Amino acid sequence: VAGYGFVSFLTDYGVDDGFVAACHGVLLSRASSVRVIDITHTVPPGNVRRGAAVLAQTLTWLPPAVHVAVVDPGVGTERRAIAVATPTAVLVGPDNGLLSWAWPALGGAQAAMLLNASTSLVRQVSHTFHGRDIFTPAAAALAIGADLRDLGQPLDITSLVRLPEPRSSVQPGVIEAEVVTIDRYGNVQLAATASQLQAAGFGVGMDVVVQTASTEYGARTGHTFASVERGRLVVLEDSAGHLAVASNRDSAARILHVSDGDVIIVRSRRQRTDG
Amino acid sequence: VAGYGFVSFLTDYGVDDGFVAACHGVLLSRASSVRVIDITHTVPPGNVRRGAAVLAQTLTWLPPAVHVAVVDPGVGTERRAIAVATPTAVLVGPDNGLLSWAWPALGGAQAAMLLNASTSLVRQVSHTFHGRDIFTPAAAALAIGADLRDLGQPLDITSLVRLPEPRSSVQPGVIEAEVVTIDRYGNVQLAATASQLQAAGFGVGMDVVVQTASTEYGARTGHTFASVERGRLVVLEDSAGHLAVASNRDSAARILHVSDGDVIIVRSRRQRTDG
Amino acid sequence: VAGYGFVSFLTDYGVDDGFVAACHGVLLSRASSVRVIDITHTVPPGNVRRGAAVLAQTLTWLPPAVHVAVVDPGVGTERRAIAVATPTAVLVGPDNGLLSWAWPALGGAQAAMLLNASTSLVRQVSHTFHGRDIFTPAAAALAIGADLRDLGQPLDITSLVRLPEPRSSVQPGVIEAEVVTIDRYGNVQLAATASQLQAAGFGVGMDVVVQTASTEYGARTGHTFASVERGRLVVLEDSAGHLAVASNRDSAARILHVSDGDVIIVRSRRQRTDG
């Protein structure tokens, strides 16, 4: 049958106000049997890049769904409201790059629509809360079986706003990569993948150097946090398949003083002694 | 059929302890098919006014439901436990004003009950956790079809505790209004409505002055955050139909140094030059 | 019928990343009709004792369920992944003591399994995210009716890791007890129970002394927060049946400067004058 049993929801609305619940209410008023999977609502206000990273890395673990994401500092301006179809899901949100790491992760964009059909709207569309007034109504319509084509006008997929891919490069003994994002534990996720660790010639259990813009730190490659002593740095493959710098029972981000988008170099200790 | 498919839930219980889950558990143990819509659980401890504001502004977007709200510094004292029926919902909580902005928003109070029927109680009622022991059991009973009259004794609606309405006044070129509440983004919601902006003779795109107890700030009227440059103040209609002072990608509350209940004056810049 | 309609979930994953949602996704992809009750996800990172306390005190209020708990600083090491059956529920998580206060609260452990059956696993098990890759897949299997014995090898119940019980002792006029945990309001829960208050000869409405390692404070025994004046200390029975030190509209933990595991003495004021 048409439609979706699940709607996922990611925003920067926070959890202290009633914004998330108002969206749940709009959704459930129109699609009463749908079930909502909240991803997070504490993306830092307006931080599109952080929202994009969490979204793309989480969606692959969800059942087929309509995925609504709203980090939207340009709400009420000319930025477009879009829906993007992938093989098993539909992404709904602002056309500001927020969704652009997610559709490749879900198998690629098959079609895109500019949301504007009057059927998707609530009483009167506000200028500041399109999550409630445009995006969740569209998701509700899709959940109960509406055809994507009934929600707006087709868009050229190549016209969609995309965030730049985080950079990484690998040479023998040296990996240079941007920080994609940092999690609750202070694990520093890099743009490099675990396979790049092998490509650089690193094995597991090797002493390495982690270098930031300002200083450098000793670390080891390992499988998990407890591969090193408490408070020491470990370079490992994280649960999303990325290379990450972590610390056993401590925050690597705090130790390294790094943030999203900073560049980190991981290199073999031998490399350094040779230099 | 009788009953409700949804129960909404707002408290100051926080999200770090198991209090919210214990209430969900009581509810689902007694009404296993009901679905819970959590509004927020991070109302500042004991802040009845903040709870009342979030509740009243959110409930209008929810499907028909039993709405349970608990911000209850007087738990275990003589304050009454009540249920208030409106045309499409029942409100359940302490009689301390928390619900008093919500029932007008939902079409008015049609009946009120003092909760005391033994059917609504768990094993033994604690002195400190009536959310678990009185309010959610009552909500569960209502959800599965209990008649409101079976839950206690009728109360005179006029006897219910009410919070004072936030004040606002409007003259040509001058709006004076109390801060109702402040959201995650630092948007400062005023007691005045958008229609009062017109009544005061303000158009959209006008330069205005925002005056607090201590100082004054330049601002513009606009439709959305991005109507002004980054970091500048904008006076707009928010998503609840209130007038609000906001800032493009910044926190107006932080800029203005205001809190709930403070008084703000918005006046035309011309007015000021005339003064 | 076999299986469980509910899965509860407690972790230290936080709410800012997509970790909790990824676990929900794994669960709902495999057991689409199960409903999740989130207990809390903001256990301080790696704080097994705090997780154990919240878990044990909350589970008794939940319907029959599979209870998944993950506070797991040793993830990816030799620590075991276990499932523990009780009369009405199954507990799933790491064998590090996290579950050990819960099974007695749920009627005792009837059987325990080492989780390792390949049926419970996702694509490839990561070294750092067993909540997603081992524990929620096992919970999904149990929810849809799998037999506990199909998930791994039987374990001797006596081999399971247990946290030490928080200590308390009572003499006439003196209760000495460890702080079990502190809630959002700053209420300080002690290992002693309310019945120990009677055993020590304290009545309600008595002046008492609360003594910490560094200093002592006047307090009163009472039924609820409002039994004392605003800002004063009250010793009461909390909603879990424990003795707690609280303050009317203030944080007792802040006043007393205590944390989990600290020892507090409550004694009668007369006792002190005699000394």
Mean pLDDT (chain A) is 93
Closest-CA residue of chain B to A23: B61
- Establish if B95 touches chain A: CB-CB under 8 angstroms: no
Residues 6+ apart with CB under 8 A from C198: none
Q: Quick check: C93 and C72 in contact, CB under 8 A? A: yes
Of C14, C18, C127, the CB nearest to A39: C18
Mean pLDDT over residues B69-94, rounded?
94
**Model pLDDT for residues C128-144, shown as the tens digit of each residue:** 999 999 999 999 999 99
**Model pLDDT for residues C73-97, shown as the tens digit of each residue:** 988 888 999 999 999 999 999 999 9
CA A56, A62, A68, A72 torsion: positive or negative? negative
Q: Quick check: A244 and A235 in contact, CB under 8 A? A: yes
Model confidence band, residue B34 (pLDDT cutoffs 50, 70, 90): very high
A17 contacts in chain B (CB < 8 Å)? 40, 54, 183-184
- Establish if B77 touches chain C: CB-CB under 8 angstroms: yes
Determine the Cα–Cα distance for residues C167 and C164; give it in Å rounded to an integer: 9
* Selected residue of A6, A9, A13, A16 to mutate for chain B interface (largest B Cβ count, 10 A): A16
C-alpha to C-alpha distances, C103 to A11, C98, C108, C190, nearest whole angstrom:
37, 10, 5, 20
Q: Which has the minimum average pLDDT: A120-129, A151-160, A208-217, B73-82?
A: A120-129
For chain C, how big is the Rg over CA atoms in Å?
Answer: 21
C-alpha to C-alpha distances, B93 to B34, B68, B87, B128, C15, nearest whole angstrom:
18, 6, 18, 14, 27
Give the closest residue to A184 by CA, choosing from C46, C27, C55. C46
Contact between C42 and B16 using a beta-carbon 8 Å cutoff: yes
Angle ∠(A146,A147,A149) on CA atoms, nearest 5: 130
Longest Cα separation, chain B: 69
Residue C120, pLDDT above cutoff 70: no
Q: What is the pTM of this model?
A: 0.95
A 164-203 → B contacts, CB under 8 A? none
**Which residue do the tokens 């708990």 mark?**
C69
- Establish if B27 touches chain C: CB-CB under 8 angstroms: no
In percent, how much of chain C has pLDDT > 70? 95
| Token pair in block for residue C99 | 């579950």
Contact between B29 and C224 using a beta-carbon 8 Å cutoff: no
Closest-CA residue of chain C to B34: C35
In percent, how much of chain C has pLDDT > 90? 87
Residue A215, pLDDT above cutoff 50: yes
DSSP-derived pairing of the beta strands B89-94 and B65-70: parallel
The count of other CB atoms within 10 Å of the CB of residue C86 is: 20
Q: Quick check: B68 and B10 in contact, CB under 8 A? A: yes
Determine the Cα–Cα distance for residues C109 and C106; give it in Å rounded to an integer: 8
Contact between A21 and B40 using a beta-carbon 8 Å cutoff: yes
The count of other CB atoms within 10 Å of the CB of residue B261 is: 14
Contact between B54 and A13 using a beta-carbon 8 Å cutoff: no
End-to-end CA distance of chain A: 64
Structure confidence at residue C116 (pLDDT): 79
**Shortest Cα distance, chain C CAs vs residue A116, angstroms:** 29
Give the closest residue to B19 by CA, choosing from C182, C58, C191. C58
C249 contacts in chain B (CB < 8 Å)? 45-46, 73
Alpha helices in C99-167 (DSSP H): 102-105, 130, 136-143
Torsion region of C31: left, alpha or beta (phi above 0 gives left; psi -120 to 50 gives alpha): beta
Model confidence band, residue A120 (pLDDT cutoffs 50, 70, 90): low
Structure confidence at residue C270 (pLDDT): 66
Mean pLDDT over residues B190-212, rounded?
93
Closest-CA residue of chain A to C78: A226
Determine the Cα–Cα distance for residues A75 and A30; give it in Å rounded to an integer: 23
In percent, how much of chain A has pLDDT > 90? 87
| Token pair in block for residue B225 | 């955050």
Residues 6+ apart with CB under 8 A from C41: B15, C9, C10, C11, C12, C13, C14, C15, C20
Closest-CA residue of chain B to C181: B17
Contact between B224 and A75 using a beta-carbon 8 Å cutoff: yes
Q: Quick check: A14 and A40 in contact, CB under 8 A? A: no
Q: Quick check: A228 and C78 in contact, CB under 8 A? A: no
Structure confidence at residue C76 (pLDDT): 82
Residue A275, pLDDT above cutoff 70: no
- Establish if B74 touches chain C: CB-CB under 8 angstroms: yes
Model confidence band, residue A273 (pLDDT cutoffs 50, 70, 90): very low
Torsion region of A158: left, alpha or beta (phi above 0 gives left; psi -120 to 50 gives alpha): alpha
